[in-house]
Structure 1
Amino acid sequence: MNNATAILLTPLGPLALTGSDAGLSAVSFLNETAEATAPTAISDCLRPAHQQLRAYFQRELRDFNLTYAPAFGTDFQRQVWQALTGIGYGRTASYFDVARLLNNPKSVRAVGAANGQNPLAIVWPCHRVIGADGSLTGYAGGMHRKKWLLEFEQPVRQGGLFG
């Protein structure tokens, strides 16, 4: 299976989408300038992800419905990434909340490490994971992007993961 790539321009800069017929394998921020992929040049395998991410940034979509095929990940990392999808739009959760959800409350640091390796930025919403004290903590896409994403979703913020 050959991987396809498309570039989506967003308010946070260009996003690179990578995937194949098996599903979306990566969504990552680019720190350099890039041109958007022309709509006619977007591979069929990436079209749903491209459309849904564009709709997210236009405030028309809150939940992604895509097929995923990450290229890497341990069983534990995949459990953490799956748990991220349970943190609803406009909500936040702490690393401890995620560890507790996985019935492994002592795995807070491992949850943080897995969160930092998330291959599907925004789609698997690792930006919604914050410190137990409510502080913003690391984000592979950069703290300025995490802050922007949380503020972007702020109008519907309804409390924590369990609230």
Structure 2
Amino acid sequence: MKMFLSHLDSPLGTMLLVTDDRQVVRALDFADHKAHLHRGLREHYGEVVLAEILPPVGIVGALVRYFAGELEALNELPTQTAGSDLQRRVWGALRRIPAGSTTTYGKLAKELGFDDPRAAIDIGAANGANPVAIIVPCHRVIGSNGDLKGYAWGLHRKRWLLEHEKAMKPAKEEGRTAMLPGF
């Protein structure tokens, strides 16, 4: 399968965007997690040939607007992912979580029709396998006690995204807002 790879700058570091020939987002990862990107592509699509291209203008524009504070800008971007039925259901539900809000693994499980509290574990696994960072907002799912739980791209990015969306208050360090190294 042929797909297209683009590099994008962001406040969270260089991002790797994978699109198909219709400019549908198939994966969005971070350059420091390149192995994660390639492993996911192999798992979901088998052999993938990636041709490097300039990033599609519409996708770049939506990401720029999102990082500038227009939090709904990513809603317009089409995504398509391979994965199990459960994974695709979870990823679809993630896109319905509004910017500026969070949910828990348990609430997400109930929304998807699961009554067994242990289903939250399966929901968490599907959430963690999300191949499309930020656009499919798995960062908006937190623990039932309000704690940030794992995030494939690092808890520092999850915190930054939730602070950016005003879904959580900024962390304070010595009276100053905590920032990512280098920003």
TM-score of the two chains, using structure 1 as the length reference: 0.82
1:108: Cα distance to partner?
A: 0.4
Residue of structure 2 in register with 1:123 after alignment: 135
The one-character-per-residue Cα deviations of 1:84-138 (angstroms, maximum 9, x if unpaired) are 0111000000001110100113210000000000011100100000000111000
State percent identity of aligned pairs.
Answer: 40
Q: Does 1:7 align with 2:22?
A: no
The one-character-per-residue Cα deviations of 1:131-153 (angstroms, maximum 9, x if unpaired) are 00111000001000001111111
Runs (4 or more) in structure 1 with deviation over 3 Å come to none
More helix by share: 2
1:61: Cα distance to partner?
A: 4.0
Give the direction of change, closer, same or farther, for the CA distance of 1:8–1:93 in structure 2 (3 Å limit): same
Which structure 2 residues correspond to residues 71-110 of structure 1 after superposition, within 5 A?
72-106=82-116, 107-110=119-122
* C-alpha separation in 2, matches of 1:155 and 1:76: 26
Give the direction of change, closer, same or farther, for the CA distance of 1:74–1:57 in structure 2 (3 Å limit): same
Structure 2, unaligned runs of 5 or more? 34-52, 170-183
Residue of structure 2 in register with 1:132 after alignment: 144
1:69: Cα distance to partner?
A: 2.2
Out of 71, 77, 90, which is 1:66 matched to? 77
Structure 1, unaligned runs of 5 or more? 33-40, 158-163
* C-alpha separation in 2, matches of 1:98 and 1:61: 21
* C-alpha separation in 1, matches of 2:113 and 2:149: 22
* C-alpha separation in 2, matches of 1:105 and 1:124: 24
* C-alpha separation in 2, matches of 1:125 and 1:95: 13
* C-alpha separation in 2, matches of 1:110 and 1:155: 24
* C-alpha separation in 2, matches of 1:59 and 1:2: 33
RMSD: 1.9
Q: Does 1:24 align with 2:45?
A: no
Does structure 2 retain, via aligned residues, the 8 Å contact 1:89–1:156?
no
1:155: Cα distance to partner?
A: 7.0
1:29: Cα distance to partner?
A: 1.3
Does structure 1 retain, via aligned residues, the 8 Å contact 2:101–2:167?
no
* C-alpha separation in 2, matches of 1:129 and 1:14: 23
Task: State the one-letter code of the partner of 1:53.
Answer: L
Name which one, 1 or 2, has greater alpha-carbon Rg: 2
1:67: Cα distance to partner?
A: 2.1
The one-character-per-residue Cα deviations of 1:40-70 (angstroms, maximum 9, x if unpaired) are x525xx3322221121111134242122222
Q: Which moved more, 1:109-118 or 1:21-30?
A: 21-30
Does structure 1 retain, via aligned residues, the 8 Å contact 2:28–2:131?
yes
